[in-house]
Structure 1
């Protein structure tokens, strides 16, 4: 490794404002950026059906007890933890005419769509059979999601090394995530009711999931077709798995990014899951589901547009602190506005906008840790490092959903028919209290981020090393 590696240490890279990324390669084409963003539309059309509606589907449609639903959601995510690492390592060692990451999008999209439909088709049988079926389909869905999402996340550092381009791709990905989530959260309940006649219709959920899954599969194939892998020259076939894992564990920015992601997705999962119960049992306005849930995802569209100039000015660490602190403060006002719905919605929208700006930084942060890994340890490992982010996404989502399920079960919630006052109080505590507390935890984590100032220099040095080898 070059001796200049010691020129900047992880502990001293935080000083100063972020420098502009050097122009080391031609910009990406517009259709590549759009196609990359469509990959997250595809992910969220399916996965947000799970994160936003699956717990409600289990408890109020399929008739699975809340505690059992929470247990299976949480247990499945820890069972497939090892599979995420295996898929990441496999991506790093894949060589095909389609590249390293893209083949997984081609061959994994259709099975993922099929299993997504099966997840929302719990049979009308005994409770034991229902739970067994739900465990099997949910676990398989998580494995297939990893087989798509880890390669998809690995694409960003393969497409470009330029930090400005990555910020743009991160913005497109955040907007794609927002569009997918917006479609799911705004249309699912109306479609279920239109097809099946009520919010708890089995037929409505089946055909709604079929529609979402079909579009998801199509968009994954569009991403496969139009995104090009440019930077796959640093292979890992001759590098042992032990060395890769050791480098990942020692990669401080990667640890920070993944801890931040876990808490982020716990918060997002709690917000989206409990919103359905909040609208039905506290506001008594079912139509509000299609208003409040889309505001969470719609904020990412604006956040995606602001990503590049916002973080170029403030840096990832300070930018996240400011955005999350503002969002937490706005959330603190919501309990006072519960009976003034227009003002409530306006403040809620601003709070979601601030947290949405924060969430857009996740994707570029993980891509930057890939460069750091190569620069510091000589191991690039796009697949393995993105496996960590995929696992953080799933574990955070599972913890959030399970937490809501266990809390509701403890408060005596069984279904939506005449829930006890303790359950109503618990729904309010989860809705108002959990998000700002988790935002404060995120602020504490991002304070340890150390790549803002160092990353442009790292990219330049890597470019010089690659030229010297060519």
Structure 2
């Protein structure tokens, strides 16, 4: 028998886990930030509408820094690589997240607002923004094209496992520890220290060792970014879909729903434990991508998200119905969550096909820019809804109007937004159809450029 050929798309276990270490750390950080709303209102006694307004302003700043960070990353060229040096920002993410949940209780209300605004700004607008902008350039220089599909799918499985573990354990520990300012700070330290250590592993263990050929020699400049955005409609579709998804996720309704509608926030952890049953679905993503384009797969996912959201609204305090909604929605969210990086790369390839700069960093940052606008919109929308409903964070019980508002925010509002995402992804299907031709033409250009440089 002949020698078995090595699969070029295979990723060694060491490199795979090292790469996913930071993604897992960042995903867990996002889960923990989802509890900020109830910390602000119920622990610090802040106004939900005023906090939401401050966070909206912070997200505007965050969105602007996204564009600046992408511009900086695209112009970076160091011995360590283009995106890799910025991985150190994960330390700042966890340090400032801990500080965000450690607001001194003796501060005046004004100082409390200032504290949460500044710390939130550092986490989102500085450290996470830089990490997100550097992700795409780093990834395409660390993995081959075939490996990228595996990273996006199987890597997403590991990330989701980590997120579920935190989602299960955090509400349980919150119920026992987060009864005082010191308790909240201790709770965050339990997560921040180990996840910060895990998050930095990628920087030390994964190198940028794949050369990325550019089909254009145009120097990256501000006008290049606007030129690409003006001639690439598909990046807008991806970005707007992410914005709507971000709007839903950033509303932070879950903790309020389980505390006031279900009546037991600890149930939130149990529901997340049930969500483990959706994890095997990730193994079907690579085979499905061979049969179904990315946009269409996301459309099917949004259909499930709509069903799950409507079931959640109808569920009220019914645990069986909540479990069904969580499973359906958990399956539906996978495509848009784990295929977006591949969609961004397709948008970069489309730009190259049109004779424009690829701008992985800038296009990824633009996606983040629009997504951050959605994050701000989600927090503001729910904050205003809560305020208008008569919600009072320090009250033991809430009026019926507040309970109904929470149910609408967790079910009907997301269903409407998921419907719009599905329409956007149907339109994105045009790029899916073009991709085989784009890849052939770009490969031919790369060969031509390489021959001309010899």
2:238 to 257, 260, 272: 257
* CA RMSD between the two structures: 2.5
Q: Is the 8 A contact 1:261 1:393 kept in 2?
A: yes
Question: Would you say 1:425 and 2:404 are equivalent positions?
Answer: yes
Q: CA deviation at 1:84?
A: 1.0
Deviations 1:266-325 (A, max 9, x none): 12233xx111111111111222121235667x5774453232122322212222222211
Deviations 1:227-264 (A, max 9, x none): 33213443978333212331133212211111111111
Residues 154/208 of structure 1: CA separation in 2 closer, same or farther (3 Å cut) = farther
CA distance in 1, matches of 2:416, 2:277: 20
CA distance in 2, matches of 1:236, 1:99: 19
Aligned to 2:52: 70
CA distance in 1, matches of 2:278, 2:100: 27
Aligned to 1:312: 290
Question: Would you say 1:457 and 2:437 are equivalent positions?
Answer: yes
CA distance in 1, matches of 2:128, 2:444: 36
CA distance in 2, matches of 1:464, 1:122: 57
Aligned to 1:137: 119
Residues 303/93 of structure 1: CA separation in 2 closer, same or farther (3 Å cut) = farther
Q: What TM-score results when the alignment is normalised by the length of structure 2?
A: 0.89
Q: CA deviation at 1:179?
A: 2.9
Q: What TM-score results when the alignment is normalised by the length of structure 1?
A: 0.86
1:147 to 95, 111, 130: 130
CA distance in 2, matches of 1:214, 1:201: 20
Q: CA deviation at 1:54?
A: 0.7
Q: Which runs of 5+ in 2 are unaligned?
A: 1-5
Q: Secondary structure at the match of 1:282?
A: helix
CA distance in 2, matches of 1:71, 1:104: 30
| Structure-to-structure mapping, 1:87-236, within 5 angstroms | 87-105=69-87, 107-124=88-105, 125-142=107-124, 143-160=126-143, 162=145, 164-194=146-176, 196=177, 199-229=178-208, 230-234=210-214
CA distance in 2, matches of 1:441, 1:185: 27
Residues 455/159 of structure 1: CA separation in 2 closer, same or farther (3 Å cut) = farther
Q: Which runs of 5+ in 1 are unaligned?
A: 1-22
CA distance in 1, matches of 2:74, 2:11: 23
Residues 96/336 of structure 1: CA separation in 2 closer, same or farther (3 Å cut) = closer
Q: CA deviation at 1:128?
A: 1.0
CA distance in 2, matches of 1:112, 1:321: 33
Q: Is the 8 A contact 1:157 1:370 kept in 2?
A: no
1:401 to 360, 376, 379: 379
Q: CA deviation at 1:86?
A: 1.2
Question: Would you say 1:443 and 2:422 are equivalent positions?
Answer: yes
CA distance in 1, matches of 2:128, 2:217: 24
Q: Secondary structure at the match of 1:58?
A: helix
Aligned to 1:268: 249
Deviations 1:372-428 (A, max 9, x none): 222223312111111122223333223222221111111111215221221111111
CA distance in 1, matches of 2:204, 2:188: 24
Residues 328/254 of structure 1: CA separation in 2 closer, same or farther (3 Å cut) = same
CA distance in 1, matches of 2:300, 2:247: 20
Deviations 1:66-86 (A, max 9, x none): 111111111101023221111
Aligned to 1:16: none
Q: Secondary structure at the match of 2:156?
A: helix
Aligned to 1:17: none
Question: Would you say 1:361 and 2:329 are equivalent positions?
Answer: no
How many residues end up aligned between the 2 structures? Answer: 439
CA distance in 2, matches of 1:342, 1:46: 29
Q: Is the 8 A contact 2:43 2:180 kept in 1?
A: yes
2:221 to 237, 240, 259: 240
Q: Is the 8 A contact 1:324 1:439 kept in 2?
A: yes
Q: Is the 8 A contact 1:115 1:140 kept in 2?
A: yes
Residues 27/228 of structure 1: CA separation in 2 closer, same or farther (3 Å cut) = farther
